[in-house]
Amino acid sequence: MGAVRKAANLTLDAALLEEARGLGLNLSAAAEQGLRAAVAEAKAARWQAENAAALASSNAWVEANGLPLSRHRPF
């Protein structure tokens, strides 16, 4: 079963819109793909911001102590 669709009004650059139509692009699919990418990027940025302290702490520990089990690494 597919995702539920909902109509939305968008304001787009007129020249870009005409070019996309001229190329036969599916505007809804292209907009959804772009929005999906923007949402993923925003979620990743939020996760990094929310976890910045833990990441810094982990990096500092590795810097001070080295990688755990590094003696077992073949390279």
**Per-residue pLDDT at 74:** 81
Mean pLDDT of 59-70: 92
**Per-residue pLDDT at 72:** 82
Domains of the chain by residue range: 15-64
Number of Cα atoms under 13 Å in the Cβ half of residue 72: 3
- The rounded Cα 64 to chain-centroid distance in angstroms is 32
What pTM was estimated for this model as a whole?
A: 0.73
Residues 26, 34: Cα–Cα separation, whole Å? 12
User: Average model confidence (pLDDT) for the chain?
Assistant: 94
Mean pLDDT of 35-59: 98
Mean pLDDT of 7-33: 96
